[in-house]
Structure 1
């Protein structure tokens, strides 16, 4: 009989470890992402923690490497600001010290350049000629992207 939709296949700890190695080799993962995946495969806590510690020992799983890759990926590819990146790292249960280390990967000059590019892309006229509602819309957009208010206002006033 076929398994129904929504039912996840159950794995033995050995099968799960092999599958988890592939899962981690494909893309950097946080410990919490892997933990959630292992639980979805029907494993018990002792097996999950054992597999995670094995994968850390074999360097398939490295929280610092994940955090740095996540920060640079979201910043460079999606143009996210620091606020949004930090929020998402916290959702993935990355520790505060590791978040601090990873956030140092962002070059401040590159960060400001990216913000200026977003402003230029979003407005097709000089900032001085924007109406108040247009400025408010631009500010909301940049806040949603995760940029800090003080930096947004500084850039908008400077131009």
Structure 2
């Protein structure tokens, strides 16, 4: 029978180097780094001390993380504000950093993303009942995190074009 894998324990100095490499690979939140440091078998005081050092050296920067997260989710995945906000809260990012990150959203690009998704869904939705069809498209866009009033505006605009 195979033994469960034991995590290697590190000294705080070794852990700092490992954590710095972990942070250099991609943006991380304090919580992600904290969780990683605990897997190294460190004491809570050592973990918090290393978090402070990494923040001081700008290896961890939650404002930068939030901005990067927002750019990726709305730019590449075309998520709406509500879903992005929930994602950041789920990562335990402070309200201050969330506000700073959300400023990355360009309202014009955001609207274009919504129109693009709406148009795409209107082309692929098979429902023939107009009411049920509109409901399904609205639900889809809500799951992407878009606000209901904007969804209604997008639907009106595209229905006006005869899509």
Give the TM-score, by structure 1 length: 0.89
Output the CA distance in 1 between the equivalents of 2:41 and 2:109.
44
Task: Tell me the alpha carbon deviations over residues 8-34 of structure 1, each in whole angstroms, 9 at most, x when there is no partner.
Answer: 333221221111101100101111111
The corresponding residue for 1:114 is 113
Output the CA distance in 1 between the equivalents of 2:123 and 2:110.
21
Task: Tell me the alpha carbon deviations over residues 47-80 of structure 1, each in whole angstroms, 9 at most, x when there is no partner.
Answer: 1111111111111111110110011011111111
Question: Judging changes above 3 Å, is the alpha-carbon distance between structure 1 residues 151 and 17 closer, same or farther for their aligned structure 2 residues?
Answer: same
Does residue 57 in structure 1 map to residue 56 in structure 2?
Answer: yes
- Aligned-pair CA distance for 1:146: 0.6
Does residue 4 in structure 1 map to residue 1 in structure 2?
Answer: no
Task: Tell me the alpha carbon deviations over residues 70-107 of structure 1, each in whole angstroms, 9 at most, x when there is no partner.
Answer: 11011111111100111111111111111111101110
Does residue 140 in structure 1 map to residue 142 in structure 2?
Answer: no
The corresponding residue for 1:13 is 12
Secondary structure, counterpart of 1:124 in structure 2: helix
Secondary structure, counterpart of 2:9 in structure 1: coil
The corresponding residue for 1:124 is 123
Secondary structure, counterpart of 1:78 in structure 2: coil
Task: Tell me the alpha carbon deviations over residues 85-136 of structure 1, each in whole angstroms, 9 at most, x when there is no partner.
Answer: 11111111111111111101110000000000111111218xxx87222211
- Aligned-pair CA distance for 1:40: 2.4
Output the CA distance in 2 between the equivalents of 1:110 and 1:117.
10
Secondary structure, counterpart of 2:42 in structure 1: coil
Secondary structure, counterpart of 2:137 in structure 1: helix
Output the CA distance in 2 between the equivalents of 1:60 and 1:130.
54
Does residue 24 in structure 1 map to residue 26 in structure 2?
Answer: no
Query: Which ranges in structure 1 are unaligned for 5 or more consecutive residues?
Result: none
Give the TM-score, by structure 2 length: 0.87
Query: Which ranges in structure 2 are unaligned for 5 or more consecutive residues?
Result: 159-163
Runs of 4+ in 1 over 3 A off after TM superposition: none
The corresponding residue for 2:161 is none
